[in-house]
Amino acid sequence: MSRYTQTVSINFTGGIISPGQLLTILDIATAARVAQVRFGLRQQLLIEVPGKYYEQFEAGCAREQIAIHAYGAAPNIASSYPGAGIFISDGWLTEGIYKDVFALFDFPPALKVNICDSRQTFTPFFSGHINWIAAGAAHYWYLFIRFPKSSRLFAWPDLIYTNNIAQVSQCIEAILAATPDITTEALYAAVKTQLEYTCKPVTTELELPAFHLPYYEGFNRHENHYWLGIYRRDEEFPVEFLRNLCNICLETRTGQLYATSWKSLIVKNIAPEHRRLWDYILGKYGINVRHAANELNWHVEDNSEDALIIKRHIIRHFDNADVRTYGLCFSIRINPGNNCFGSIVISKQEDKYKSRLKGHHRYDILYTQDFNPNSGTLLPYRTGVAKEHLGPYITSLCREFYENSAVADPLVNYVAGQQTVTVVSPVEKFVHQCTRCLTVYDEHIGDPEQDVMPGTAFDALPPDYHCSLCDAERDSFATVPATSLGWLAGEQH
């Protein structure tokens, strides 16, 4: 018999976690008999609180002024901030500007808001309802609206200034709440009517980089420090491990932790002399930080053991078949209507007969246009697939991705390019040499002793010119290739 629990979420705006605040939350959770916690797709902390201790947990959070929400009630502001400085650099969107934007939101958004750097591929761009993407011009942003419970995407006609992001978001949220079926044109007109904001027209379409998921786990060197990524196969982080982690941060003055959209944690700016502290705590709690890449590129619904079972089943097939998945990411959708971020999507069909036998469940395999996970267009590959056949079908689809990517062999093009390179032969230079003493007349130097100026060609020498060494007449000079003279072969200056 399963015990009753209540799942709550605690938002960390943009994925930024204060170690001190997290430690306070974990102390309250420990008192409420919570042993494991999770991080969600939207960079939140998810806690399953035993029903028996829920009132105690709620009172503890209220006492410490920690806002808790029923799961899904406050979807958090997600951002690409956790990758700043390690996966993204040299742009105008600095960590300080991220924090300035977060500070503008003096209300908890009811819709999903994403704030992303356009040059990164670590955080999904369009998984929110209100998606802000940094433009090339400093402090201006593209805006894309994904209407709730749909994949319909509307590109806002204006680039909007940083200081107006929160106002525009709140206005759009209010309009969509009042008129959910509003058209894109009417939404744009309503916002322009109700709100004045600094903007300029979009003149060039947003160009996003090709998807590549950076390896976000383990100890990694960055400049003079390390950063550490922590991923959990079962998504569960032991509370005692996290409490010790927070204590190390406080002792070493590590001011921030970061929750990612891959349900992992990142710790930045670890000094080399502090690495042994982190090695110790990872070893003490048996935390593995070197998982296979084909396990890290999955977006799985929050708190879904059924989805994790499917994920593990497919990964086992990948391992046995030695399948390459670089450049791809995968998503599993168990509940209909949930938005997915993945190049390949496994979607559970609705059970028409409400069978409790999982062997009767069937799945659809879909993929995005050009296998771009940021594309909103899902294309069917196979429908009504049993669980035991998912691995082979998805393996075939992975191979199709690489076959489509390798239509033109770059090696053939490279070789052809090398063969068409025109080889320019050096122009042979000839000089004039005395046949009696082998003295060379150099037109670049001339012959100052006979009043012959530098730059005088041999043919322009006066008829009475003679060798400056042996006095041989001009007719005694022969024309010879400069290369035949050894060290004099090059042009002299």
Residues 381 and 366: beta-carbon distance below 8 Å: yes
**DSSP secondary structure code for residue 126 in this structure:** S
Exposed e or buried b per residue across 225-243, where buried means at least 16 C-beta atoms within 10 angstroms of its C-beta = ebbbbbbbeebebbbebbe
pLDDT at 419 over 90: no
pLDDT at site 434:
84
Model pLDDT for residues 425-435, shown as the tens digit of each residue:
566 677 788 88
Model pLDDT for residues 312-356, shown as the tens digit of each residue:
999 999 999 999 999 999 999 998 877 889 999 999 998 766 666
More confident residue, 435 or 31: 31
Model pLDDT for residues 100-120, shown as the tens digit of each residue:
999 999 999 999 999 999 999
Average pLDDT over every residue of 362-386: 93
Residues 376 and 345: beta-carbon distance below 8 Å: no
Model pLDDT for residues 310-320, shown as the tens digit of each residue:
999 999 999 99
| Cα separation, 50 vs 5, whole angstroms | 4
| Cα separation, 362 vs 275, whole angstroms | 47
The strand pairing partners of 188, in sequence order, are none
pLDDT at site 340:
84
Query: Residue 141 corresponds to which tokens in the numbers above?
Result: 């942003």
pLDDT at site 409:
64
Class of domain 297-405: alpha beta
| Cα separation, 110 vs 96, whole angstroms | 25
Q: Which residues, in sequence order, are CB contacts of 361 under 8 Å at separation 6+? A: 348, 349, 351, 355, 386, 387
Residues 176 and 182: beta-carbon distance below 8 Å: yes
With DSSP H G I counted as helix, E B as strand and the rest as coil, what are the percentages for the chain, rounded to 5?
A: 35, 25, 40
Can you give the three-state secondary structure of 146-206, one letter per residue? Answer: ECCCCCCEEECCEEEEHHHHHHHHHHHHHHHHHCCCCCHHHHHHHHHHHCCCCEEECCCCC
Model pLDDT for residues 137-181, shown as the tens digit of each residue:
999 999 999 998 887 899 999 999 999 999 999 999 999 999 999
Model pLDDT for residues 265-308, shown as the tens digit of each residue:
999 999 999 999 999 999 999 999 999 999 999 999 999 999 99
Q: Smallest Cα–Cα separation from 72: which of 9, 135, 128?
A: 9
pLDDT at site 491:
42
Kindly report the number of other CB atoms within 10 A of residue 290's CB atom.
9
| Cα separation, 125 vs 370, whole angstroms | 16
Residues 366 and 358: beta-carbon distance below 8 Å: no
Would you give the distance in Å from CA 297 to the centre of its chain? 12
DSSP letters for 424-435 = -PPPPPEEEEET
pLDDT at site 485:
62
pLDDT at site 151:
79
Class of domain 5-75+214-291: alpha beta
Identity of the amino acid at 484: S
Average pLDDT over every residue of 110-139: 96
Residues 177 and 110: beta-carbon distance below 8 Å: yes
More confident residue, 204 or 444: 204
State how far the alpha carbon of 320 is from the alpha carbons of 149, 265, 324, 482, in Å. 37, 29, 11, 68
| Cα separation, 366 vs 375, whole angstroms | 12
Average pLDDT over every residue of 23-48: 97
| Cα separation, 229 vs 219, whole angstroms | 7
424: confidence class by pLDDT, cuts 50, 70, 90: low
Residues 379 and 367: beta-carbon distance below 8 Å: yes
Q: What is the pTM of this model?
A: 0.81
How many Cα neighbours within 13 Å face the side chain of 314? Answer: 33
Residues 202 and 218: beta-carbon distance below 8 Å: no
pLDDT at site 489:
39
Domain limits, the chain: 5-75+214-291, 88-201, 297-405, 430-488
How is the beta sheet containing 440-441 ordered, strand by strand? 440-441, 430-434, 477-481
- Residue 114's φ and ψ, nearest 5 degrees, are -115, 140
The H or E element containing residue 251 is helix 239-251
Which CATH number is correct for 430-488, 1.10.150.120, 3.40.50.1220, 2.60.320.10, 2.20.28.10?
Answer: 2.20.28.10
Kindly report the number of other CB atoms within 10 A of residue 283's CB atom.
9
Q: Which residues, in sequence order, are CB contacts of 55 under 8 Å at separation 6+? A: none
Identity of the amino acid at 65: Q
How many Cα neighbours within 13 Å face the side chain of 175? Answer: 23
Dmax over Cα atoms in the chain, in whole Å? 121
Kindly report the number of other CB atoms within 10 A of residue 196's CB atom.
9
Query: Residue 326 corresponds to which tokens in the numbers above?
Result: 């670089």
State how far the alpha carbon of 358 is from the alpha carbons of 230, 313, 361, 387, in Å. 32, 14, 5, 9
